[in-house]
Amino acid sequence: MTSTTPAEKDRDAPPAPGPIHVLFCADRGYLQHVAVAAASVAESSPGRAIRFHLLTCDPASEAEDRLRESLRRYPAVALAIHRVAGARLDRLFVDRHLTREAYLRFLAPEVLPADIDRVIYLDVDLLVLDDIDKLWAADLAGKAVGAVAEIAWGEAAPDTRAAALGIAPGHVYVNSGVLVIDLGRWRRDGLCRGLLDCAAALGSRAAYHDQDALNMVLQGDIALLDRRWNVQTLMLGSWYRRALPGDHRATAAARRRPAIVHFSTGAKPWKFRARTRRRADYFRFRERTAWRDQPPPGLTGAERLEHAAARALLRVGIDVYLVAGIGDRLRAARAGMVRRRGTTLGAPEDARP
């Protein structure tokens, strides 16, 4: 099986009629990040009719009120919240890093109204920086879903992951953080059941759980989207030099002009002292939400002052934590050079007997 070639047709495609439907899946603790991601969508597509859908297992909460308040400033935007019984996900593996909400996207065709035939699914840890109409109009060439190829980093190459899962050679392993879903295909082919059954069978053995299940079940039925639509922050930093040669070529244009920036590592921009690229963009959109002045939880008084100062510097283009990280790497590199020099030339004069 071979996935389709990258869908460049999203670049100049005319806007599709009717509203764009965008899906998030989250519990109440992540609604502040849903608000930021949604604000980035609305700001990048001003005036476009957008219908946000939230799938959650939680009851109504104050956080939902704040999410609605955050979106009220965008007249063309609407929000629908769909509650799913947690019991529907009881057989799926969860732990302190993986919540049941990670699997909710698999239920989208059953939960969303039947007259919605397509939806864009977005993880909550990302920002949309280009007109989402271009992604909405992407040509899936009859495939069930559109997604971006996973990045390749040395031994963690997606081909290695695919082989370990028993995925047929030639299938391109994709990242599940940005999906264009053909809901009609999923409904007709009963893909919800197949995806949930696969995730349940994988259990704790899967490294990437819901993403692994999606790649296994939909192999051969995935349209590859331009990498601009899921630029993981690792691609923007020094780790880029460790990528496999093919990834260098694939990501060069995406790095220069990302349409979606995905904070896919543990260094989330909202965490205290996080070192990640594009933090300034995150806080720029966060200023448009009801969480604009809320610091990370659990900070001391001194840490709150540091957090406020760091945000103030971000507004003028200075990320103190990235600067500190560069300094750490320079010191580590210098120490490595000294060690190598000592190995090559012998011990320093004052260490010799």
Q: How confident is the model at residue 165 (pLDDT cuts 50, 70, 90)?
A: confident
- The answer to whether the beta carbons of residues 148 and 225 sit under 8 Å apart is yes
Q: How confident is the model at residue 52 (pLDDT cuts 50, 70, 90)?
A: very high
User: What is the arithmetic mean of pLDDT over 40-52?
Assistant: 97
Return d(Cα 59, Cα 85) in angstroms, integer: 10
pLDDT computed for residue 337 by the predictor: 54
% of the chain surpassing 90 pLDDT:
68
% of the chain surpassing 70 pLDDT:
86
Cβ-Cβ contacts under 8 Å for 131 (sequence gap 6 or more): 44, 45, 48
Return d(Cα 215, Cα 208) in angstroms, integer: 10
Number of residues that make up the chain: 353
- The answer to whether the beta carbons of residues 106 and 199 sit under 8 Å apart is yes
Tokens coding 119: 């939806």
pLDDT at 90 over 80: yes
Return d(Cα 36, Cα 289) in angstroms, integer: 7
User: What is the arithmetic mean of pLDDT over 60-81?
Assistant: 97
pLDDT at 212 over 50: yes
Mean pLDDT (the chain, rounded): 87
Highest mean pLDDT among 86-95, 146-155, 163-172: 86-95
pLDDT at 8 over 60: no
Return d(Cα 119, Cα 131) in angstroms, integer: 15
Lowest mean pLDDT among 121-125, 126-130, 170-174, 237-241: 237-241
User: What is the arithmetic mean of pLDDT over 269-280?
Assistant: 93
pLDDT computed for residue 348 by the predictor: 38
Span 279-301, pLDDT tens digits: 999 999 999 999 998 999 999 99
pLDDT computed for residue 128 by the predictor: 98
Q: Model's pTM, two decimal places? A: 0.87
Highest mean pLDDT among 71-85, 153-167, 316-330: 71-85
Q: How confident is the model at residue 242 (pLDDT cuts 50, 70, 90)?
A: confident
Return d(Cα 210, Cα 232) in angstroms, integer: 18
What secondary structure does DSSP assign to 169-188, as a single string? Answer: TTPPPEEEEEEEEEHHHHHH
3-state DSSP assignment of residue 283? helix
Span 94-112, pLDDT tens digits: 887 788 999 999 999 999 9
Span 321-344, pLDDT tens digits: 988 865 455 555 565 554 555 544
Strands 231-232 and 118-122: unpaired
Task: Point out which residues pair with 261 in neighbouring strands.
Answer: 127, 231
pLDDT computed for residue 252 by the predictor: 85
User: What is the arithmetic mean of pLDDT over 260-277?
Assistant: 93
User: What is the arithmetic mean of pLDDT over 55-63?
Assistant: 97
